Structure 1
Amino acid sequence: MSIVTTGDEDLDQTRAFARRLQADNATRPPLTDLAAIQAARTRQFDGTTAPVPLAHGQDRIVDDVPVRVFTPADVRGVFLHIHGGGWSLGSAHGQDDRLWRLAERASVAVVSVDYRLAPENPYPAGPDDCERVALWLVDNSEREFSTDRLMIGGESAGAHLSVLTLLRMRDRGHTAFRAAQLTFGMYDLSLTPSRRSMAGGWLDRTPGPSWFAEMFVPGTTAEERRDPAVSPLYADLRCLPPARFTVGTADSLLDDTLFMHARWRAAGNQAELEVVAEAGHGFTLYPLAISEREHHRQEEFIAKA
């Protein structure tokens, strides 16, 4: 197992940003009710500005599921992107600049899923939407994009939904996806030790993973949330594609990635792990040197796949 810890030369910038972010979060009302969640959906992850749409993005409907598509001039594969946001925030329109950069630099068409959000649409609505788009790509990527090379990935809840999608596809007999980029995902909705023990963090204005999990799978106990169909850490992980896992040491979901990477390898799959020094949850969404480095490495991984 190879663990690469990066970002030591950028610790001063990372630490200063974390202090500013936590100070800003302290002045904002927390996201503790549905009205606040719904209002936050109209803004980017920083909580203050609206997403900036790019003309390169195309809104489509595939099998009744909205998607946003980015198609560069040179297409050598298709990347199925699943956004994060605790299964309750975010949208396929929230990262146009990042997804277009990925499309151009990795030579992939990017299909980002605008899956239904909790609590209005709890489990299994979101996973069902992601599976439907994945099945559509298996049947249509050659005709639509002139390639059948498929990859998948996402951030936070998007990484969780990416793994659920891969498991569902495998169980259907589809092994078309050749790689997965899984960025600071939550894979155990009953909560890992790091989530229970770490205080504070970069996202203090959110009520935390346990609250989001309750909206995603309402009325369930911790034991019920260990169902492999909900928490993929407990699933049979055999016959899954090579994966690249990324997480920061200051992420309260650190254990989720460490545990999932170990189980991915133990199941006989290829996996690599990047642990970023003092990076908090969501670090790739902010203008930091460690984020730029991580974007570049993701682009390289996807392009190689």
Structure 2
Amino acid sequence: MTTTHRTTPDFPDFPDFLRGEPLDGHPLRAHLRDLDRLEETLAFNRAFERAAGSRPARRGPLDAQTLARLRRNRLGGDTPPRRLPQARDRRLPGGVRVRVLDPGSPEGVLLHLHGGGWAFGSADGQDERLWELALGTRLAVVSVEYRLAPEHPHPAAPEDCERAARWLAEHAVTEFGTDRLLIAGESAGAHLAVLTLLRLRAGHPGAYCGAQLAFGPYGLSMTPSQRSFGDRALLSNTRSLQGSYEMFSPGADAGRRRDPALSPLYADLAGLPPARLVVGTEDPLLDDSVLLARRWQEAGGTAELDVVAGAMHGFTLYPLTVTDRERRREREFLAAAGR
């Protein structure tokens, strides 16, 4: 399905350029995906909500012990991630640590930024998925161990991601034998990926030839879908997003969080590479991807938006048919970008 535009609900603190006016001659390239698996996907959501409802609700800030316990486990699960022997850890100049998965004779390099609300996740938390991605795309994957909130609030994570991205732009040919660079992230990692491209634009314009952006929060002052989602226990909701934003940018009000340094939705997006965005219809961040794709295109760039029917936030963490299909689409985009 292709739609010419999507109009956001009337919302007084939203600037006019985000209200979804049609672009003359430039329809938004948006597709509704996987409608044939809607019942399966919604059934998973219902089971997820039931399971979440059986656990005690967390209130207030997370204490250090709870943070440490949650960080030991893989995103979206209760067990530690599996570390693969094919991956190797490396410390870059400036101290940023990365995890490298190289399939051998790579045809490009993917800078990967993990999700986790800027407070969870790690570079070694998705070895299996990233190794599969490396093999399927013939890309070396460099995953960044950026500093986490609340111990290290903004701008720590964007600074670490920028350092890794600059290092790769300057040393990819020497290190990997290729200058074809791409960037990808999920959730908070997608947000950081866009900030990283913006930070690189002046010094390394055009260094990255494609961006894969999955269900990111691009407007930290809260888009309409974030505000209206409520307390549904689908991995992310209105309250959990508010908590994540407070950890990442403590004490900032809505006006401060509209600063492009925090919310790329409000930035000048000119000069950024072709992007593929994906989000589910049951994700509080739905508007973020729709609006960012629109603004990307308004700025003269290429943006393709895939909206997955019935999918919740972070759906690719779970064994679903839509996960398998999305990973295939992701591989196809990354394998072709910059060719």
Pairwise same-fold verdict (TM > 0.5): yes
Q: Is the 8 A contact 2:181 2:207 kept in 1?
A: yes
Q: Is the 8 A contact 2:161 2:192 kept in 1?
A: yes
| Residue 251 of structure 1: aligned partner | 283
**TM-score normalized by structure 1?**
0.97
Mapping 1:49-64, distance limit 5 Å: 49-63=79-93, 64=95
Q: Does the alignment pair 1:276 with 2:303?
A: no
Opposite residue 114 of structure 1, the aligned amino acid is E
| Residue 42 of structure 2: aligned partner | 15
| Residue 25 of structure 2: aligned partner | none
Shift of 1:12: 2.1
Equivalent residue in structure 2 for 1:97, among 114, 118, 128:
128
| Residue 236 of structure 1: aligned partner | 268
Shift of 1:117: 0.1
Equivalent residue in structure 2 for 1:126, among 129, 153, 157:
157
| Residue 41 of structure 1: aligned partner | 71
| Residue 228 of structure 2: aligned partner | 197
- Residue 204 to residue 248, structure 1, CA distance change in 2 (3 Å): closer
Residues in 1 aligned to 2:282 and 2:115: alpha-carbon distance in whole angstroms: 18
Opposite residue 56 of structure 1, the aligned amino acid is Q
Superposed CA RMSD in Å reads: 1.4
**TM-score normalized by structure 2?**
0.87
| Residue 143 of structure 1: aligned partner | 174
Residues in 1 aligned to 2:258 and 2:266: alpha-carbon distance in whole angstroms: 7
Residues in 1 aligned to 2:162 and 2:56: alpha-carbon distance in whole angstroms: 35
Q: Secondary structure at the match of 2:283?
A: coil
Mapping 1:145-224, distance limit 5 Å: 145-199=176-230, 200-203=232-235, 207-224=239-256
- Range with bigger deviation, 25-34 or 272-281: 25-34
Opposite residue 303 of structure 1, the aligned amino acid is A
Opposite residue 198 of structure 1, the aligned amino acid is F
- Range with bigger deviation, 91-100 or 8-17: 8-17
Q: Deviations over 1:117-169 (max 9, x none)?
A: 00000000000000000010011110110001000010000000000000000
- Residue 69 to residue 173, structure 1, CA distance change in 2 (3 Å): closer
| Residue 51 of structure 2: aligned partner | 24
| Residue 292 of structure 1: aligned partner | 324
- Residue 206 to residue 90, structure 1, CA distance change in 2 (3 Å): farther
Shift of 1:205: 8.7
Gaps of 5+ in 2: 1-27
Equivalent residue in structure 1 for 2:115, among 84, 88, 96:
84
Q: Secondary structure at the match of 1:79?
A: strand
Q: Secondary structure at the match of 1:223?
A: helix
Shift of 1:33: 1.1
Residues in 2 aligned to 1:207 and 1:55: alpha-carbon distance in whole angstroms: 38
Residues in 2 aligned to 1:52 and 1:227: alpha-carbon distance in whole angstroms: 38
Shift of 1:2: 2.2
How many residue pairs are counted as aligned between the two chains?
305
Q: Does the alignment pair 1:301 with 2:301?
A: no
Q: Secondary structure at the match of 2:72?
A: coil
Gaps of 5+ in 1: none
Shift of 1:174: 3.1
| Residue 19 of structure 2: aligned partner | none
| Residue 107 of structure 1: aligned partner | 138
| Residue 23 of structure 2: aligned partner | none
Shift of 1:204: 5.6
Residues in 1 aligned to 2:189 and 2:236: alpha-carbon distance in whole angstroms: 20
- Range with bigger deviation, 13-22 or 203-212: 203-212
Q: Secondary structure at the match of 1:3?
A: strand
Q: Deviations over 1:232-279 (max 9, x none)?
A: 100010000000000000000100000000000000001101000010
Report runs of 4+ in structure 1 exceeding 6 Å deviation: none
Q: Is the 8 A contact 1:246 1:257 kept in 2?
A: yes
Q: Is the 8 A contact 2:52 2:233 kept in 1?
A: no
Q: Is the 8 A contact 2:83 2:127 kept in 1?
A: yes
- Residue 119 to residue 40, structure 1, CA distance change in 2 (3 Å): same
Shift of 1:38: 2.6
Shift of 1:207: 4.5
Q: Is the 8 A contact 2:236 2:313 kept in 1?
A: no
Q: Is the 8 A contact 2:182 2:211 kept in 1?
A: yes
Q: Secondary structure at the match of 2:201?
A: helix
